[in-house]
Structure 1
Amino acid sequence: MANMKDVAKHAGVSVATVSNVISGKKFVSPELKSAVLESINALQYRPSKIARSLKIRKSFLVGLLVPDITNPYFAEIARGVESIALDHDYQMFLCNSDGKSYREEETLISFLGHGVDGVINVAPRMEEGLLADLSDGMPMVILDRHLTIENPLIDVIYTNNFKGSAQLARHLLDKGHRRFACIAGPRDVPSAVRRLQGFCSELERDGIREGDIRIYYGGFKYEDGFKIMKQQILKLKNRPTAVFAGNDMMAWGAIEAAKQHGLKIPIDISIAGFDNVLYSSLVIPAMTTVNQPKYEAGRAAMKLLLEKIMKKQSGEDVHTRKMELDSQLIVRESTEI
């Protein structure tokens, strides 16, 4: 197997020049760079990542922690993270917390033990102070949750959930709906709380009374939406004409329950979700929802993390950065008569 010395000899350059071409840290003339790259290809040389990591004190590993790996929303985020990670020769550990704070704590400790260079933590549920303590000097990006604490090694990316759900409420009001049900996400998930607040706030601004807004809580899963719709909402004597589910998974479950009950959507009842995952446009009828830039959010999170890793390694000052992403109402057949 070829090594760096073999490449240098084949290209007629020094080992230092080969190293500079591979690392990209120092200028190498186009002619020499071309010669080195041709020799690398000819000899099929592959730099040792282990040796490189020891030399520059990087593991080239990042941890990605999500609440539910089966939810397409988190899958799209993971794809975005990985697209940037691979461009920078990083590998990704993907772990699932099942939405449990103790699993988040265990996973972060495990990431530290494996020597990852940084972590992207998506929609964590653990208490803010503990989250900051567990970073333990490790660069981290929190995605899909707004934090009030300031930690120079932690950056935050979140979507304007309040605005998105308020836009959806306005759409339903404009369609003439006056009785509503909400299948909200877990009470301890900040993004779920903001979605419920945005939706109800817009309804109340339009004069909808509290008694005309039925609120139920689920766990962001398909079966939650199906069960709540079938066992509670559809059994109401004065049934709501519009249902907002806190994510597309629960909205899909609600749609299927309504269809099993013999209701026509949106003629008998309108149903909408939040996230705009891939299947939201494929269910029948196609689902009205609020788009979040999931893939783009994953890419942005990885870019922020890489910048923080490099600054920490070089000893530069770091500070908390907060990035708010916009949401967009997507109107489809499930609410559009």
Structure 2
Amino acid sequence: MLCRFVLPLSFVLLLAVSANAEIKPEVILEGLKCPTGVAVQPETGIVYVSESAASQIIRVVDGKAEVAIKEFPHDEYGKGPTYLMGPLGLAFMDKDHLVVGDGSLKDGEEVVRVYHVDEIGKDGIKADMGKQTNPLKPSDDVPGEGNFYGVAIDQDAIYVTSNGDDKKGWVARCPLEMDGLGELTRYIPTKEMVDVDAPAAIVISPRREIVVGQMGEISEAKDSLLTFYDQKSKKLLLSLTTDMHDIVGLAYSPKTGRLYAVDYSWADPKQGGLYRLDAIRRDGKQAIKATKLVDLDQPTAMAFNADGELYITEFANGDGKAEGKEPATGKLLKIGEGL
């Protein structure tokens, strides 16, 4: 039995009263080079994965990977090891349109790309064939920004987390207009509002709040925040500590309404995993409890299909070469219904 309780703000979590059964992820694909995003096409259930270091987006058809979008440019990320970085976050706008957050260009040049998936044949299409937004413009002391790690879409707009060289960290917004894409602009200065670095995960709640996982410093343990913002006013509704290291993915189950997160855990990869986030009261105040459900090897993204099956990408050893290992060990995993 699952119980909801009314919260003072429109904050959507569920209170758990029973434990999950043991979870055993199924490996769908392996040998991936820095997988960083995953999305499930509505109606068809076809899974798309951004294989960032391979500069491509692949999709799973009849259990096998095929290249869907190829020949992205590439940038580099990190300071020992460094990784090639191409497409990042993925989300479907509707059945026909895939939205891709860019990591393939220099900060200040990166864009959000949109592809009509019906135009993708068996040999795939080139990255420059999609529509794209403008880059984020520099202003005052804020440089041009990039690294659009997370993507979330509501009926009026595309939202992306922007976490490149800009020390503030932003949620950027692109309105959806009758004739296409509007201007991509900085929308919510998340670091400025919560004084924690690195917005990464983003999702729209069932009540249409913007929900952001503020990753925090990669060298610090358990400093990630879960934050809720009003879409129109941009007001911070709620900011909660999580006892998680580096939240990089968030998703609501379409079957139960529960909120789940994946923790990359940069400083200690052995702590990475899938978590369920449950509403609780702590010292009389609204809080959450993060319950670890399964250990994962540096998970990077997550997405449910309509049946409640959960797909997760694991970064693992990145592109293999960075760790002196061959081949790369990134994976696409699936967890069955029940979450």
Larger radius of gyration: 1
Normalized per residue, the structure richer in strand is 2
TM-score class, shorter: under 0.3
**Structure 2 length as normaliser, TM-score?**
0.24
